[in-house]
Chains A and B, each alone.
Chain A
Amino acid sequence: MNITVRYFANMRDRMGRAEDTVSIDGDAVTVEELWSKVSPQEGLPSNVLIAVNMEYTDGSRVLKNGDEVAFFPPVTGG
């Protein structure tokens, strides 16, 4: 399946890119497993927020083909 991965704010700086398109074999891939594919050297930062298809979720969320996953730091708007 194909997953679009987006990085915002200091997560984009950390990754050195704004977006990845990832192809993964299997049908029960979690966000944490996706992270280990896009960042094999470094575990998921403890304070990172995760969204799938623009809804907040956590690392155990199982992904499906076409999902958009975003990783970003705590929000600071307003």
Chain B
Amino acid sequence: MKVIVQEGLFDPYQETRDYEEKCLPVGKHGAVVTFVGTMRDFNNGHNVSSMFLEHYPGMTERHIEEVCEEAAQKWDVIDALVLHRHGEISISEPIVLVAVWSAHRAHAFDACRYIINYLKERAPFWKCESTKQGKRWVEHNTEDPGVNAKGLKQSA
């Protein structure tokens, strides 16, 4: 498994293909599920022109790695790749990629969803949005309405 937190723009689909070619054993996976989070031009009723994403170097990577390891213990994951940006991000650019390879789709879907949801809950990142009214820190992420139904959310 690999976790990268970087400032530069990346192509999530190319990164997924490249990682699969370099790191995945041939013929062992029957499913690859990818989640790509991208930058919207609106949030909480305001137009957003750009965003600065702050992180805590070291702690951020450590907590994403822990979430990936938890997912690999819960489901049959062959491999996983997480790429997450920090710094200035423009509209429509990718912010995060989670790619999970598994023998079967159910494990890949559930592990991917677990990783992105727990990453959003635990990895120390903070979004500061630029709007016409000025800069503002985002106070909370949107909920995933499907987590309880899928049993992917543990009680605290």
Point out residues on A near B: beta carbons under 8 Å.
Answer: 6, 8-10, 13, 49, 51, 54, 56, 70, 72-78
Q: Which residue in chain B gives the minimum CB-CB distance to A75?
A: B124
Q: Which of B8-16, B71-79, B115-123, B145-153 contacts A (4 or more CB under 8 A)?
A: B115-123
Interface SS majority for chain B: mixed
Point out residues on B near A: beta carbons under 8 Å.
Answer: 37, 53-56, 58-60, 62, 84, 95-96, 116, 119-128, 137-141
**A-B interface contact total, Cβ < 8 Å:** 71
Within 8 Å CB of A9, what residues of B?
54, 126, 128, 137
Contact of A72 among B95, B124, B138 (CB under 8 A): B124
- B56–A74 touching, CB < 8 Å: no
- B119–A76 touching, CB < 8 Å: no
- A76–B59 touching, CB < 8 Å: no
Within 8 Å CB of A54, what residues of B?
56, 58-59, 62
A–B complex contacts, Cβ < 8 Å, 30 sampled: A6-B56, A8-B124, A9-B54, A10-B137, A51-B59, A54-B62, A72-B124, A73-B126, A73-B139, A74-B139, A74-B140, A75-B120, A75-B121, A75-B122, A75-B125, A75-B126, A76-B120, A76-B125, A76-B139, A76-B140, A77-B60, A77-B84, A77-B119, A77-B123, A77-B125, A78-B37, A78-B95, A78-B96, A78-B119, A78-B125
Q: Which residue in chain A gives the minimum CB-CB distance to B86?
A: A77
Known: A77-B126, A78-B96. 5 other contacts (CB 8 A): A8-B56, A54-B56, A70-B124, A74-B139, A76-B137
Within 8 Å CB of A73, what residues of B?
126, 137, 139
The 4 closest A-B pairs by CB, nearest first: A77-B125, A9-B126, A78-B120, A54-B59
